[in-house]
């Protein structure tokens, strides 16, 4: 290893940042808020959300593609981040409305009236008029933003510590993370969870304090923020995986027992990664849900996390751009196919409805990718560069469950 | 009251003689004076004689008398039973013969006073309670039980001795205790009746006892005279708002001013941007508003109302008490301890019922998980589509019912059909997908998940999103009931039996058959098994098919009591994995232990927090996550080198 | 001379089977030792216990001049205090280059934060180059180790062990699958290494052990059967009975 510049070592990062910057510029110029208005505000939001999904897919690629830990819980961290920021958005927005409404009543509003009004507005739907204790910080953006990272981070830290110290690995860990996600989702579904049960939080697209700005502008701001976060995330993760740390975690993926005998505390590395990726997922959630406008417990159903794994697998795990490509293409295709705008395909007596059959196609194509193209879409780049895969007579590159398969390896 | 009762009771013994002596008309004729001008003190023997006469008319006569329909015809001074008929009355003689009609003006009604009517009513009860027909006696008992009154107590007691039907006698004695504990004037008798209830825990006993310990809350300056249950502490036993409401109800304090009312009153009295001397701009705190309102109160512009301080002072001045409706402390304490005893026994029965529930839930989990235990435990293959195989089994049952209308036959057809369908699906999946991914458990997980979403969506497209019925045969309707508390439905028993059958079948298959031997051989050492002439591919295929087929049968069983939707299997998949993992991978007994543990746990959590099934699942999953910390390899863990670490 | 590794009274049981039975063993700071014994004698289990993979039921193990107790430590800590292990089959990280493998093994802080901020210094790269050259992989630094031949992987693993700079080296059947020339090279390397550190070689091949020319410990049924020079132990009647009699 000779000491070269960061981009010289990682040319793909430079290309990625360039593409992302061009894309951001193009969307801005075509948007309704600041540009020609070629693409609608709702599509800008869809693109912004897609960038957030790409960010969480990066986190998934780090934990699964590089470290071999198939976590089925990262969308829970994503949604938790969204919930935490959603609490501030909803509280602050409701506060504006309540204060305005009360001021029209002749007297300036008292604190008690304001908090009572907010509580009734927010919690009337679940038959309560008290603000639960977990909303104690909801009035403050900095505090709630800190919580948006601290709560998922802490959950990941505690859960990871419990799981890794008892050496739960492979599919057991996957199932365990799935159970954690399910437990969290079921908890949030309750009305007395303090987060409005299955109603979730809504009206998140309205930015408190920016009531005058139109959604055309707000959507562009969030698009920029998402692009910035994705770019920073990509650079950070590239830096992490290209150094010795990346070397250690790839070694853990392929043969963690051997890494232990080299003296590396494997559990500490896994915990570090699990928490770091949970934080990235939470940050992505913080940016995603104000664009989505609504969050409810269905967002953290176990299936969401499995989709995340699907994106990474389809894009090609173990390469960061693969995760981004997978997340962007599958989620965009998904929104196209489920929009209901595609014409049905008549097949004799029945007609094929894309909304109904999209999941079937996705499921089966996913099986096909797993079976026939473990490199995913990212493997196409190798094809262009004419990089052959090593011939190892079908043996994976290490004894562990998460190790690379023969076809996945890059020489 | 007591006197008449005694008289009736006494006369009851004499009844046969009197009955033989006279019929109703004769008794009335003999006591004509007393009947026209009855007095509560002296009329007893006459009514008793009537009641005991055995004359079929006595009942009607007494009823008519009590209802003021016994009349004197002015023209001949004779007594008749009158029934309103148009403008006039239809008359019936005392011996039952019709006697024409008469206008109201021709008749004089006999009007017995309330006391006499009470004696008559008691006699009537006695009459029906001693009716020769057991059915009527039973009806009388039922009507008393439905609407118990103090008057019925004595006649009921009187009728017990002469009751010949042992069943009715037991009923009477039981009812007598209920009436005694509610209405007997003698406190000792009531306490005795309460303790005589003994170990009876049925609902009617609790219904009879509960009114005795009913309480009301009162507010007063000092401790009231009644039977005080306890002194309530504000903030501890009742909230300040509740306490203040009690004061308002008792007229001890003015109604509290709500924030909205205060606001309205203040807004209404804004003068030159001030209210009661306080500038409007400053009225954004509660303290300032209270100040302004008090100023207005003093000026007399708004009604007096309690502000927070005043309310606090009023609360501090008064005491709050829980007072028994029942005035007798001996009775209330006896009832309380009897109820506590009942509570304990009911609690034990609840525990038994909970145990039954837990067992049946465990059976369901076991059924759902056993197929998974085969594929995951024996082959190490994670099959995320296992839930969809359960769904496919249930839908197979539904389709079979469309063609075979008889539910029993269709069930018998559906079970093997479901097995066949899911066996085929499992074999196809193993051949096409899983075979290529052995030793890659994470990829298997994801690929089978892909199959799972595709299958689920296909089922949804074919069968729609609404729930489809899978009807159980009639002989599975209803429940096996042990008493008020403990019962279990026959479907759950059937599922339990099915689970046991599967356990037996599976153990037999693995331990006693050639196939089982080969499966175990391939599990332990694939290469070695292959060199002994076993075809591992074939064994894997069969094992996977078997696991899937069992899922199909489990689907039929689960479909019988749950709704059949395309998502029903997905509801069980995480639980099933947990069952296998908690129990210990690779052991049927482990799966059984896991299912029992998870089933019981879920029921216990639901019992502790009955309002919410969702949170029960949350706590259960949390518990499992912690459990795996303690026993990472499950309850029944393979140890040593066999564990493969 | 105080011992570097002191194993005393260690027992371990798998499902009722006593794999190691009251085993005591010690080795000095710079010593070469061969452990031989029939199949199932507990050789591999012994290494598992010393490296922390298996926890003994009874007994004590101390290491180093300050007599650190190894029983409370996990595998990573044990490796950090200076015990290196070479597996029977070559285990290198096949998806990574020879250079990456060696950098992973280089003696440096193992904590995640330090590793994250670690940058190769010129001296590190030079050391990697030296090690690779020493085992004949000097011109293969950028090759993926998965592409190396079996023997090359063995050498890479030995180089990784050297990079760790352990004070005690546990080597499991180093001669397996090597050509005679490679064996020769291995023998001289092991003898060379034992001048500066303790080396324990577990070996089946008597000829290889003879060439090592060192003290030999014979294990049987989880306990030490005999100890001494190879000539001494091969004359021991018990050893002969175990090897020839019941095999």
Total beta-carbon pairs less than 8 A apart between chain A and chain C: 96
pLDDT at A2 over 50: no
pLDDT at B14 over 50: no
Tokens (6 digits) for A162: 């419990």
Q: Which of residues 275-314 of A touch B (CB under 8 A)?
A: 302-303, 306, 309-310, 313
Instruction: For residue B230, list its beta bridge partners.
Output: B322
| ipTM above threshold 0.85 | yes
The helix/strand/coil state of B513 is coil
Q: B211 CB near a chain A CB, below 8 Å? A: no
- CATH H superfamily, domain C1-82+168-247: P-loop containing nucleotide triphosphate hydrolases (3.40.50.300)
CB B488 within 8 Å of CB B356: yes
- Of A273-282, B476-485, B538-547, C52-61, the one with minimum mean pLDDT is B476-485
pLDDT digits (tens, 9 = 90+) for B199-222: 677 777 877 788 888 888 888 888
Q: What is the DSSP string of A60-94?
A: HIIIIIIT----S-HHHHHHHHHHHHHHHHHHHHH
Tokens (6 digits) for A40: 């609608």
Q: Which pLDDT belongs to residue B644?
A: 40
DSSP B377: I
Given CA atoms A45, A49, A52, A54 in this order, what sign does their dihedral have? negative
Mean pLDDT across chain B: 81
pLDDT digits (tens, 9 = 90+) for A322-353: 999 999 999 999 888 887 777 777 777 777 77
Confidence band, pLDDT 50/70/90 cuts, at residue A392: low
What is the average pLDDT across A123-143? Answer: 86
To test the contact with chain A by mutation, choose from C47, C53, C76, C83 the residue with the greatest count of A C-beta atoms within 10 A, namely C76
Confidence band, pLDDT 50/70/90 cuts, at residue A411: low
pLDDT at B552 over 70: yes
- List of chains touching C (3+ CB pairs within 8 A): A, B
Q: How far apart are CA B145 and CA A117, in angstroms?
A: 52
Q: Which pLDDT belongs to residue B54?
A: 67
Tokens (6 digits) for C119: 């940058």
Return all residues near B191 (Cβ < 8 A) that are at least 6 apart: B330, B331, B334
Instruction: For residue C63, list its beta bridge partners.
Output: C5, C68
CB A98 within 8 Å of CB A118: yes
pLDDT at B247 over 60: yes
Distance (Å) from the alpha carbon of B645 to chain C's nearest alpha carbon: 10
Q: How many CB atoms lie within 10 A of CB B225?
A: 9
Distance (Å) from the alpha carbon of B441 to chain A's nearest alpha carbon: 6
Where do the domains of chain C lie?
1-82+168-247, 91-165
Q: How many CB atoms lie within 10 A of CB B198?
A: 11
- List of chains touching A (3+ CB pairs within 8 A): B, C
Mean pLDDT across chain C: 86
pLDDT digits (tens, 9 = 90+) for B455-510: 999 999 889 888 888 888 888 888 888 877 788 888 888 888 989 998 898 889 88
pLDDT digits (tens, 9 = 90+) for B420-458: 999 999 999 999 998 888 778 888 888 998 999 899 999
Q: Which pLDDT belongs to residue C245?
A: 61
Contacts of B461 in chain A (CB under 8 A): 356-357, 360
Confidence band, pLDDT 50/70/90 cuts, at residue B16: very low
Phi, psi of B217 (to 5 degrees): -100, 135
- State the Rg of chain C over Cα: 19
CB A47 within 8 Å of CB A380: no
Q: A220 CB near a chain B CB, below 8 Å? A: no
- Of B7-11, B516-520, C12-16, the one with minimum mean pLDDT is B7-11
To test the contact with chain B by mutation, choose from C12, C14, C18, C55 the residue with the greatest count of B C-beta atoms within 10 A, namely C14
Q: Which pLDDT belongs to residue A100?
A: 85
- Of A126-130, A176-180, A394-398, B520-524, the one with minimum mean pLDDT is A394-398
Mean pLDDT across chain A: 87
pLDDT digits (tens, 9 = 90+) for A115-129: 888 888 888 888 777
pLDDT at B114 over 70: yes
pLDDT at B639 over 80: no
- If one compares B286 and C141, the residue with the highest pLDDT of the two is C141
Contacts of B641 in chain C (CB under 8 A): 14
Q: Which of C14, C92, C152, C148 is nearest to A261 (CA)?
A: C92
Let me know how long chain C is.
Answer: 247
Closest by Cβ to A402, choosing from B442, B453, B456: B442
Q: Which pLDDT belongs to residue B637?
A: 65
Q: How far apart are CA B398 and CA B412, in angstroms?
A: 13
Q: What is the DSSP string of chain C?
A: ---SEEEEEEEEEETTEEEEEEEEEEE-SS-EEEEE--TTSSHHHHHHHHTTSS--SEEEEEETTTTEESTT--HHHHHHHTEEEE-SS----TTSBHHHHHHHHSSS--SHHHHHH----HHHHHHHHHHHHHTT-TT-TTSBGGGS-HHHHHHHHHHHHHHH--SEEEEE-TTTT--HHHHHHHHHHHHHHTTTSEEEEE-S-HHHHHHH--EEEEEETTEEEEEE-HHHHHH-HHHHIIIIII-
To test the contact with chain C by mutation, choose from B636, B637, B638, B640 the residue with the greatest count of C C-beta atoms within 10 A, namely B640
CB B307 within 8 Å of CB B286: no
Q: Indicate the helix (H) or strand (E) that contains A165.
A: helix A141-165
- Of B235-249, B410-424, B431-445, the one with minimum mean pLDDT is B235-249
Q: Which pLDDT belongs to residue B18?
A: 43
Contacts of A245 in chain C (CB under 8 A): 112, 115-116, 118
Confidence band, pLDDT 50/70/90 cuts, at residue B641: very low
What is the average pLDDT across C140-162? Answer: 87
Which own/partner pairs from A15-22 qualify as long-range (CB within 8 Å, at least 24 positions apart)? A16/A234, A16/A320, A16/A321, A16/A324, A17/A231, A17/A234, A17/A235, A20/A227, A20/A230, A20/A231, A20/A234, A21/A231
CB B176 within 8 Å of CB B129: no
Distance (Å) from the alpha carbon of C211 to chain A's nearest alpha carbon: 28
Phi, psi of C69 (to 5 degrees): -80, 125
CA angle A213, A216, A220 (to 5 degrees): 100
Closest chain C residue by Cα to residue A400: C93
Q: Residue B199 burial (CB < 10 Å; 0-12/13-18/19+)?
A: exposed
pLDDT > 70 in chain B, percent: 94
What is the average pLDDT across B304-333? Answer: 81
Contacts of C14 in chain B (CB under 8 A): 639-641
Which own/partner pairs from A97-106 qualify as long-range (CB within 8 Å, at least 24 positions apart)? A97/A121, A105/B263, A105/B267, A106/B263, A106/B266, A106/B267, A106/B270, A106/B280
In sequence order, which ranges of B130-165 are alpha helices (DSSP H)? 134-146, 153-162
Q: Do A405 and B443 touch (CB under 8 A)?
A: yes
Q: How far apart are CA B277 and CA B186, in angstroms?
A: 67
Q: Which of B571, B390, B460 is nearest to A186 (CA)?
A: B571
Tokens (6 digits) for B611: 């309002």
- If one compares A383 and A71, the residue with the highest pLDDT of the two is A71
What is the average pLDDT across B124-142? Answer: 79
Distance (Å) from the alpha carbon of C60 to chain B's nearest alpha carbon: 21
What is the average pLDDT across A243-257? Answer: 92
Residues of C with CB under 8 A from a CB of B: 14-15, 17
pLDDT at C246 over 70: no
pLDDT digits (tens, 9 = 90+) for C22-73: 888 889 888 899 998 887 788 888 888 898 888 888 888 998 878 888 888 8
Q: Which pLDDT belongs to residue B645?
A: 35
């Amino acid at each position: 290893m000779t000491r070269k510049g960061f981009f010289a070592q990682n040319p793909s990062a430079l290309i990625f940042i360039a593409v992302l910057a061009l894309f951001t510029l193009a969307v801005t110029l075509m948007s309704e808020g600041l540009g020609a208005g070629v693409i609608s505000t709702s599509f800008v939001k869809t693109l912004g959300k897609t960038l957030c999904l790409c960010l969480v897919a990066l986190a998934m690629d780090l934990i699964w593609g590089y470290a071999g830990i198939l976590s089925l819980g990262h969308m829970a961290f994503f949604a938790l981040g969204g919930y935490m920021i959603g609490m501030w958005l909803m509280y602050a927005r409701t506060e504006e409305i309540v204060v305005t409404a009360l001021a029209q009543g002749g007297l300036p509003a008292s604190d008690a009236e304001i908090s009572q009004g907010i509580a009734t507005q927010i919690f009337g739907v679940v038959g309560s008029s008290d603000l639960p204790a977990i909303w104690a910080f909801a009035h403050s953006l900095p505090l709630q933003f800190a919580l948006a990272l601290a709560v998922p981070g802490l959950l990941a830290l505690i859960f990871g510590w419990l799981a890794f110290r008892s050496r739960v690995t492979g599919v057991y860990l996957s199932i365990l993370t799935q159970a954690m996600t399910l437990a969290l989702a079921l908890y949030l579904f309750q009305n007395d969870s303090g987060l409005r049960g299955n109603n979730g939080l809504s009206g998140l697209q309205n930015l408190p304090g920016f009531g005058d700005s139109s959604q055309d502008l707000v959507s562009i701001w969030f698009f920029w923020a998402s692009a910035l976060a994705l770019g920073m995330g990509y650079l950070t993760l590239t830096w992490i995986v290209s150094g010795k740390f990346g070397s250690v975690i790839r070694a853990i993926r392929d043969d963690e027992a051997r890494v232990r005998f080299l003296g590396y505390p494997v559990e500490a590395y896994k915990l570090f990664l699990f928490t770091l990726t949970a934080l990235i997922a939470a940050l992505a959630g913080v940016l995603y849900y104000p664009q989505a406008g609504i969050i409810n417990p269905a967002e953290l159903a176990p299936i969401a996390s499995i989709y995340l794994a699907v994106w990474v697998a389809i894009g090609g795990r173990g390469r960061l751009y693969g995760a981004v490509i997978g997340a962007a293409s599958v989620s965009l295709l998904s929104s196209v196919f489920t929009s209901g705008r595609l014409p049905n395909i008549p097949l004799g007596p029945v007609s094929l409805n894309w909304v109904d059959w999209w999941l079937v196609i996705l499921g089966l194509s996913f099986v096909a990718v797993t079976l026939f193209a473990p490199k995913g879409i990212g493997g196409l780049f190798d094809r262009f560069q004419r990089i052959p895969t090593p011939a190892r007579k079908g043996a994976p590159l290490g004894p562990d469950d998460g190790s690379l398969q023969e076809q996945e390896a890059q020489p | 009251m007591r006197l008449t009762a005694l008289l009736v009771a006494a006369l009851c013994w004499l009844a046969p003689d009197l009955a033989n002596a006279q019929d109703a008309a004769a008794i009335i004729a003999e006591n004509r004076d007393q009947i026209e001008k009855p007095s509560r003190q002296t009329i007893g023997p006459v009514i008793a004689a009537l009641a005991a006469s055995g004359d079929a008319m006595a009942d009607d006569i007494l009823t008519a008398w009590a209802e003021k329909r016994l009349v004197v015809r002015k023209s001949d001074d004779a007594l008749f039973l009158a029934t309103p008929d148009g403008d006039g009355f239809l008359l019936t003689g005392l011996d039952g013969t019709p006697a024409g009609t008469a206008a109201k003006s021709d008749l004089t009604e006999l009007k017995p006073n309330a006391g006499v009517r009470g004696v008559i009513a008691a006699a009537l009860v006695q009459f029906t309670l001693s009716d020769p027909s057991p059915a009527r006696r039973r009806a009388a008992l039922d009507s008393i039980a439905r609407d118990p009154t103090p008057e019925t107590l004595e006649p009921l007691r009187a009728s017990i001795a002469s009751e010949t039907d042992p069943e009715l006698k037991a009923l009477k004695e039981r009812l007598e205790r209920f009436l005694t504990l509610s209405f007997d004037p003698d406190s000792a008798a009531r306490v005795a009746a309460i303790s005589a209830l003994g170990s009876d825990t049925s609902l009617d006993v609790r219904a009879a006892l509960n009114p005795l310990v009913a309480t009301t809350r009162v507010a007063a300056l000092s401790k009231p005279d009644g039977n005080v249950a306890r002194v309530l502490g504000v903030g501890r036993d009742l909230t300040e708002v509740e306490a203040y409401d009690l004061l308002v109800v008792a007229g001890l304090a003015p109604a509290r001013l709500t924030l909205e009312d205060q606001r309205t009153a203040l807004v209404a009295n804004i003068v030159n941007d001030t209210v009661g001397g306080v500038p409007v701009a400053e009225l954004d705190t509660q303290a300032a508003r209270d100040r302004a309102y008090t100023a207005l109160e003093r000026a007399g512009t708004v009604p007096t109302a309690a502000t927070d301080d005043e309310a606090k002072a009023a609360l501090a001045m008064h005491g709050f008490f829980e007072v028994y409706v029942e005035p007798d402390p001996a009775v209330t304490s006896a009832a309380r301890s009897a109820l506590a005893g009942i509570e304990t026994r009911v609690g034990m029965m609840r525990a038994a019922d909970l145990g039954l529930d837990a067992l049946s839930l465990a059976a369901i989990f076991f059924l759902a998980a056993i197929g998974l235990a085969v594929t995951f435990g024996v082959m190490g293959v994670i099959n995320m589509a296992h839930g969809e195989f359960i769904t496919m089994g249930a839908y197979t049952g539904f389709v079979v019912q469309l063609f075979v209308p008889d539910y029993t036959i269709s069930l018998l057809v559906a079970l093997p059909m479901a097995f066949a369908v899911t066996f085929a699906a499992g074999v196809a999946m193993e051949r096409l997908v899983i075979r290529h991914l052995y030793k890659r458990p994470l990829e298997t997980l994801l690929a089978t998940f892909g199959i799972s979403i595709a299958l689920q969506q296909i089922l949804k497209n074919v069968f729609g999103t609404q729930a489809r019925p899978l009807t159980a045969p009639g002989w599975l309707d209803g429940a096996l009931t042990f008493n008020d508390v403990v019962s279990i439905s026959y479907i759950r028993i059937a599922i339990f039996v099915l689970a046991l059958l599967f356990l037996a079948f599976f153990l037999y298959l693995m331990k006693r058959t050639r196939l089982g031997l080969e499966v175990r051989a391939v599990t332990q050492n694939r290469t070695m098994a292959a060199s002994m002439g076993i075809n591992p591919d074939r064994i894997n295929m069969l094992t996977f098919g078997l696991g899937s087929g069992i899922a199909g049968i489990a689907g039929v069983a689960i479909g019988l009591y749950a709704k059949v939707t395309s998502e029903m299997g997905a509801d069980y998949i995480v639980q099933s994995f947990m069952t296998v993992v908690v129990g210990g991978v690779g052991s049927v007994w482990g799966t059984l232990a896991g299912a029992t543990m998870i089933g019981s746990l879920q029921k216990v959590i639901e019992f502790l927090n009955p309002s919410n099934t969702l949170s029960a699942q949350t706590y259960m999953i949390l518990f499992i996550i912690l459990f795996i910390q303690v026993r990472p390899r499950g309850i029944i863990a393979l140890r040593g080198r066999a564990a493969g670490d | 001379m105080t011992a570097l590794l002191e194993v005393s009274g260690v027992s371990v049981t798998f499902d009722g089977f006593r794999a190691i039975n009251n085993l005591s063993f010690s080795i000095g700071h710079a010593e070469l030792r061969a452990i031989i014994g029939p199949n199932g004698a507990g050789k591999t289990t012994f290494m598992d216990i010393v490296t922390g993979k298996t926890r003994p039921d009874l007994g004590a193990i101390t290491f180093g001049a300050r007599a650190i107790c190894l029983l409370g430590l996990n595998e990573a800590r044990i490796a950090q205090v200076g015990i290196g292990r070479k597996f029977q089959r070559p285990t290198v990280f096949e998806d990574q280059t020879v250079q990456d493998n060696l950098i992973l093994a280089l003696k440096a802080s193992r904590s995640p934060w330090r590793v994250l901020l670690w940058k190769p210094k010129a001296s590190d790269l030079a050391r990697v180059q030296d090690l690779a050259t020493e085992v004949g992989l000097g011109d293969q630094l950028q090759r993926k180790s998965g592409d190396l031949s079996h023997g090359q992987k063995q050498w890479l693993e030995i180089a990784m062990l050297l990079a760790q700079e352990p004070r005690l080296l546990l080597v499991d059947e180093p001669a397996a699958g090597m050509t005679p020339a490679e064996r020769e090279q291995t023998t001289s390397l092991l003898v060379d290494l034992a001048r500066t550190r303790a080396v324990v070689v577990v070996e089946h091949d008597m000829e290889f052990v003879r060439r090592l020319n060192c003290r030999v410990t014979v294990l049987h049924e989880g306990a030490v059967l005999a100890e001494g020079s190879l000539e001494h132990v091969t004359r021991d009647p018990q050893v002969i009975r175990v090897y020839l009699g019941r095999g």
